[in-house]
Amino acid sequence: MGHNAQPAATWGNSPCTRASAVRLRAAALAVYARKRPYSPAWNLGKPARMGPRHHTRLAALVIVALAASVAFADAPFKRPHMHRPGRGHGCQINVGPVTVPRDTELTECTYLKMPSTRDMAVHRVKIKVSGGSHHVHLYRPADPTMNLADGAETCNQALDFSVWQLVLATQDLFLDWKLPPGIAFRFRAGEQLAAQTHFVDNGLLRTPSGQGWAVFNLYSMPPRKVRSYAGALFGQDRDVVVPAHATSTATTRCLFPKPVKLLAITGHYHYRGVRFTAATWDGTSGEQLYEQNGYLDPPFLRYSGTDAPEVKGLQWTCTYDNETDQTYKFGPFTDRNEHCNLFAFYYPTETPEEFTTCVQKDGVVTTTVRGQ
């Protein structure tokens, strides 16, 4: 649903270095960098002298790199804060704290009601996450009369798509997404919602405080200005197998009942994933739209109303590098399972609350469109 790296270098015994300490170290290393001879990686035997311009650039890089680590040293592991939308202009949803035992991971579903007394057309979404987040999803029930008690429970498996319909998804620590003019997500006043959060404290993701949070800001626009409502696509390859001591790929191809225009797209896999690509698909061929290399920080590719590609379908491929003795199969846990999922958002929709799934299982791809 955001990936954040294990906290950057720490000094002393504190698991989270204070911002002030990072700035002091950055300044000290910048001074050191100006004095030190420069030896490029391809000429380790004979240091080369740097001119003033090179000293300045290297010093600047040191400062930028260390200052960037402030985001991982302080911010990601505290309860996130965002100012609420102005009165009559939206609402805020808070999730957490989600307690994550040390060296483990936990997917939790928080059940709550849409905190609005009127239906909303949401044209801008902000999601702020704290902790080692693998994903954050927001769902609504397929049955609009569902009414669950507020609370939370462990839900490590994917939600049943015939019961719950994806509305929003992020893998970023902070997402600020404004939809093109006239496009919005629809939320009903007081409707049942489920926020699924997956927080991790192992491998490439860490939650050193032992707690994770997510905050959603939903900004509304006048319904009369809506030209089309947005829909969500959840693409899932349940046939994923990553063999031991091998580089392997997994591909899924999906055709839609009708062409749609893309609003956003992002890929998703676990720790063995090294490359993710997504492309259009018309049944015979396609053009690449999206690429991710490595595991951390998968791009959330957005399109404006003018450059949104119209697609008949999508295809996506995950490339894995598994150097272990273990074979990894489809499943929810980052340390012992793998995924090859695609999340996309699109318009126009046939209904205000449309949700599309494209699932590959036993070599068969099934596309289903749901919505009231």
Percent of the chain exceeding pLDDT 90 equals 71
Q: Give all domains of the chain, ordered by start, each with its CATH number.
A: 19-68 (no CATH), 78-226 (2.60.120.310), 231-370 (2.60.120.230)
Question: Over the stretch 164-207, which tens digit does the pLDDT of each residue have?
Answer: 999 999 999 999 999 999 999 999 999 999 999 999 998 888 88
pTM for this prediction: 0.80
Give residue 77's pLDDT.
63
Three-state SS at 78:
coil
Lowest mean pLDDT across 37-41, 107-111, 214-218, 237-241? 37-41
Q: Please report which confidence band the pLDDT of residue 222 belongs to, taking 50, 70 and 90 as the band edges.
A: very high
Candidates 69, 296, 59; CA nearest to 171 is: 296
Share of the chain above pLDDT 70, in %: 79
Banded model confidence at residue 372, pLDDT cuts 50, 70, 90: low
Q: Residue 346's pLDDT is what?
A: 98
Residues 6+ apart with CB under 8 A from 90: 84, 120, 122, 124, 217, 218, 219, 220
Over 90: is that where the pLDDT of 209 sits? no
pLDDT digits 0-9 by tens, 299-311:
999 999 788 999 9
Residue 80 has pLDDT above 70, yes or no: yes
Closest CA to 308 of 209, 183, 211: 183
Give residue 147's pLDDT: 97
* Distances, alpha carbon 126 to alpha carbons 91, 215, 265, in Å: 11, 8, 16
CA atoms within 13 A on the CB side of 275: 9
